[in-house]
Chains A and B, each alone.
Chain A
Amino acid sequence: MRMVPTVLRSLLREIRQRLGAILLLGALGAVGSGLLVGMLAVYYDLDASRARFYREQRLADFSLSLKRAPRSALEQVRRHPGVRHLEGRVRIEARVDLPDSPEPITSTALSLPRIRRPVLNDILLVSGTWFEGTRDDQTILNDAFARAHDLRPGDHLEALIMGRQQRLLVVGTALAPEFVYVLPPAGGMVPDPARTGVLYLPLDTLQDWAGLNGAFNEFLGLAWDLRPVPLRNTLKDLERQLDPYGVALSLTGEEMPSVQFLANELHELQTSATLLPALCLGVVGLVLHIVTGRMVTQQRTTIGTLRALGYTRTFIVRHYLGYGLVVGLGSALAGLALGLWIQSAMVRLYQDYFELPPFQPALYPGLLAGALGVGVLFAMAGTVQAALRASRMNPAEAMRPPAPEKGGRIFLERVRVLWEFLPFWGKLVLRSIFRNPFRSMVAILTSLAATALLVESLCMMAAMHAMIDHEFRHTSHQDLTVALREPVGRDILSELGALPGITEVEPQLVVSADLSRGAREKRTGLTGLVEGNRLFTPLDEQGQPLRVPEEGLVLARKLAEILGVVPGDTLRLRPLIGTRQIREAPVVAVVDTYMGLGAWCRLEYLSRLIGEDWAANAILLDLANPRPDRALLEELARRPGVVGVEQRVRALEKIQQLMDQNFGTSLFILILFSGLLAFGSVLNTAMVSLEERQREVGTLRVLGYTPERVALVFATEIALLSAVGIGLGLWAGVGLVHLVVQAYSRELFRLPAVIPPEALFQSAAVMVLFVALAQVVVWRLVARMPWLAVFKVRE
């Protein structure tokens, strides 16, 4: 029984001897397991918190926007066999005046029952109370908005609701499942809590103010069948039944912006949680494979002796697998600790980012055990081959000194001219690379993966910036966008144009419409442009402004594909405002744009389609001073019929701020990650190579080579392998960008595949930096190597 401890001691001693290499591998493994544990745990936390919130506050499965539907209509559609439950509520615009905001804030007023009872899209009170008594002037605010303006229960605020100025008492603040990700109501891609007001008021109050006594303008419902197609069909039925009440928009739960955004975030988290750890642990396995393979070669005499002494094959296998076990277990345990830390840090981050009820990072024993298992498995898989090879050694043969290392030519030597000119160390390097193809391949693949990862993230960042530029600089040129509740006539142009400081006015008509051809149907927004449009110029992918003919539609490629139309075809078109009469409209052109579902036509043409002569529901303004003063904003916002006033520069700043924050952090982490990957793998390759060629190092040193010259041999090997890896990685990165862009190409918009040369350059530079760091370590190893010991008679 003493056998085991003795050999275990020898295992530990071997590990101590290679401590540097082991620690490096361990760190890489720990990062892999840590990311796996941390990110998956956050995924579970977030997913559970979301599910609980949606369930407890009863997130609706669908919503229908209406003009005005009486209770009888509600009772009528409630009987639809697909509907499990249906409720009505009132949603109207409100403009909130706050002393800390330069202009009125476009907000949403939503109804809630005066006496608390469970409803769909319910709220979770964070502070204060529910409505009290019969007063009309009380409101519950969404919590993020209240925090952004430091509003608390007991405070008052001024709001313009349906043309009437109201002084409201804040009685409470709340979270809501439909506003987990708070996007401004006037549109935008970035949360802006300070400009996203949601005011809850008692149902009867809102019905009264909106002139909807006994009626609703929004239905929320639960459905029996939540699969996308049946749900869509149910909604179509409901739309048909509710047509007399002016259905404007129906959304399934998944189409609601906040729900969609949160789902995307979770999906991406899940992808990263598998991809990055797999990469790390894979490299650990491959490098261990190389290291243990080398160990077995080196220790063949010992293995032979042990076998001669009567140790079994199983014992030998166990011994070398033990190496993987120790590395795997050690790194996985460290990874668990790291993972728990990542989890709590990310949970904190997400708490700020999403308006979810507070949640704590939970402990997932199954996940921890799984990650431990995966970490150990990867490491042991790396040692299996060496262990088996060791066990197959014949004791008598293994005890004899090894046959001299094989020389032999590599194919490059056939290129005589080249070969003759190489200094001897160049030959050493090339032969070493080609005689250890597996090791060389691992070094190349690792730097390839790390480089590709860097290229991909830098390019995606560039793509986002390109999109923003496309949208905010090249397409939109206006300073302000005034959104109107209803389409209005030409008078608005002279009316707004007369305001001080306005230099140019451009009308726009944006209409939601159902487009169909045969059985294919798609709901999208049609944008009507005036001739000679200057403030809003949609572009195709080449950056050319779209030319819109007097008659007919211009469709984005994706939309045309969905509908199966080509230029010359005719579409059926049913606008969701105005007369709602079905019209025929010819498709004049199909263009490639980043806006996948875009459809454009002349404003006059679109006006006729909705039964008007000339109509506009958005007015773009160019100002003498791009930063509008408060007086102008107030003047605009107070006009009846104005739904919102959006400042282009402000929206741009907000989105850039968010991009810099988000991408900045993740880019930093990714650079570190890629760096560690490259550094770890390259260094390990060099260390194995160094150990294998100790005798060469000693010989060279005796012959009068300086440590620098000797290190140059190894440095050249690393440099060559990394250079190939980085070069291929740049290619692979570009390929990856195209793949990711394709994967992300959703209906709403597509990302351009942007490959800025500086992204390639920066990726390569980061890689070169980390490889150079590894070189420094190699140089120190060579300089400190006890080369004299090599000449002592062999064991």
Chain B
Amino acid sequence: MAIEGGERKTHMEAQPQPLLTVRSISKIYRMGEVEVPALREVDLEIFESEFLVILGPSGSGKSTLLNMIGGMDRPSSGQVLFGEQDLTRASDRQLTLFRRHQIGFVFQFFNLVPSLTALENVQVATDIARDPLPAREALRIVGLEDRASHFPSQLSGGQQQRVAIARALSANPRLLLCDEPTGNLDTATGAQVMELLERLNQDRGKTVVVITHNALVSRMANRTAEIRDGRIVRLDIQQHRESARSLPW
């Protein structure tokens, strides 16, 4: 705990205010007459420009936590603060605008619109963003400018995920939320996707939160929050991040 305190201090020096604060949130799902707690009093802070990994086995509540952070769902109790804004009290419309302008999502199943080309899929986000990257630029960043007019069915899984990342990136969000971004990819492709996320974090200063069950990913992170049965059981801070390329995927 001493280490954590010390580490907190260095963060405090660099970034006194967290970008997003999760304060003692719980989430209980009601399945008929049974109550299933998915999160129990979770506290977490996310700082500007950090690479945070939320690690946990399936069913641990990590996706539920991501939903709360991303403004897709509301906790049963507790608070989620984005700067000054209390997301738990925000209206549906305010949450919609929050997602639109502050968050970039990357999903395990890519969630591209099958009837739109790669470029058009990115435009879906840039069309409504306040200060977007040009869609082609976003595709260039993920290395797919020459696939702009391909439909998802004409792209490999890794390429599809990179389009999804381009889409998440293009709205110029403060926070990239990635839910098992490599979960549906083979290891080599997965490594490439992780490299891309790493680059976005280091070169462009994007705040990246990755949810995964793969412990290896935490070696890339500034911090790793381990979640089990709806509770954060460990919070590790890493002084020396390893590069994605060097990891034994």
Contact = CB atoms under 8 A, between A and B. Distances in A.
A706 B72 contact: no
A703 B114 contact: no
A654 interface: no
A432 interface: yes
B111 A699 contact: yes
A406 B153 contact: yes
Q: Could you say which of B72, B114, B152 has the most chain A C-beta atoms within 10 Å of its C-beta?
A: B114
Interface centre among B73, B107, B115, B123 (most CB of A within 10 A): B115
A695 B109 CA distance: 10
B67 A788 contact: yes
Interface in A110-167: none
B125 interface: yes
Nearest to A698: B111
Contacts of B97: 704
Contact of B115 (A407, A699, A700, A702): A407
B183 to A, nearest CB: 9
Contacts of B123: 424
B107 A428 contact: no
Given A424-B123, A424-B127, A702-B72, A407 B101 contact: no
Nearest to B151: A407
B105 to A, nearest CB: 5
Interface string B177-192: 0010000000000000
B247 interface: no
B125 A427 contact: no
Nearest to A699: B111
Contacts of B30: none
Contact of B72 (A406, A435, A700, A788): A788
A695 B164 CA distance: 14
Nearest to A431: B115
A408 B124 contact: no
Contacts, number: 84
Interface string A392-433: 000000000001111110000000000000011001100110
* Residue picked from A701, A703, A705, most chain B C-beta under 10 Å: A703
Contact of A423 (B73, B93, B127, B154): B127
Nearest to A704: B100
Contact of B96 (A406, A696, A699, A704): A704
B82 to A, nearest CB: 14
Name the residue among A423, A698, A702, A794 with the largest chain B CB count within 10 angstroms.
A702
A695 B116 contact: no
A791 interface: yes
Contact of A404 (B101, B105, B114, B116): B114
B174 interface: no
B26 to A, nearest CB: 18
Nearest to A434: B115
Contacts of A423: 127
B128 A705 contact: yes
B192 to A, nearest CB: 20
A407 B152 contact: yes
Interface size grouping (class) on chain B: 35 or more
Contacts of B67: 788
B186 to A, nearest CB: 16
A424 B115 CA distance: 10
A403 to B, nearest CB: 8
B113 A705 contact: no
A698 to B, nearest CB: 7
Contacts of B111: 695, 698-699, 702, 791
A432 B115 CA distance: 8
Contacts of A704: 96-101, 103, 128, 171
B117 interface: yes
A702 B114 contact: no
B120 interface: yes
B99 A428 contact: no
A703 B93 contact: no
Given A423-B127, A703-B128, A788-B67, A405 B114 contact: yes
A187 to B, nearest CB: 67
Given A405-B153, A424-B123, A435 B99 contact: no
Contacts of A408: 151, 153
Contacts of A431: 115-116
Contacts of A699: 111-113, 124
A192 to B, nearest CB: 65
B100 A703 contact: yes
A298 to B, nearest CB: 15
B213 to A, nearest CB: 12
B96 A424 contact: no
Contacts of A700: 124
Interface string A682-717: 000000000000011011111111100100000000
B107 A706 contact: no
B115 A428 contact: yes
Contact of A703 (B108, B120, B125): B125
Interface string B120-133: 10011101100000
A788 B96 CA distance: 13
B123 to A, nearest CB: 5
Would you list the 8 A-B pairs with minimal beta carbon distance, nearest first?
A407-B151, A704-B100, A405-B114, A431-B115, A704-B99, A404-B153, A699-B111, A407-B153
Interface of B: 63, 67, 70, 72-73, 93, 96-101, 103, 105, 107-109, 111-117, 120, 123-125, 127-128, 150-154, 167, 171, 179
Given A405-B114, A431-B115, A432-B115, 11 more contacts: A406-B151, A407-B114, A424-B120, A424-B123, A424-B124, A427-B116, A696-B113, A703-B125, A704-B99, A704-B100, A706-B93
20 contacts: A405-B114, A405-B115, A405-B153, A406-B153, A407-B116, A408-B153, A428-B115, A428-B116, A695-B111, A699-B124, A700-B124, A702-B70, A702-B111, A703-B99, A703-B167, A704-B100, A705-B96, A791-B107, A791-B179, A794-B109
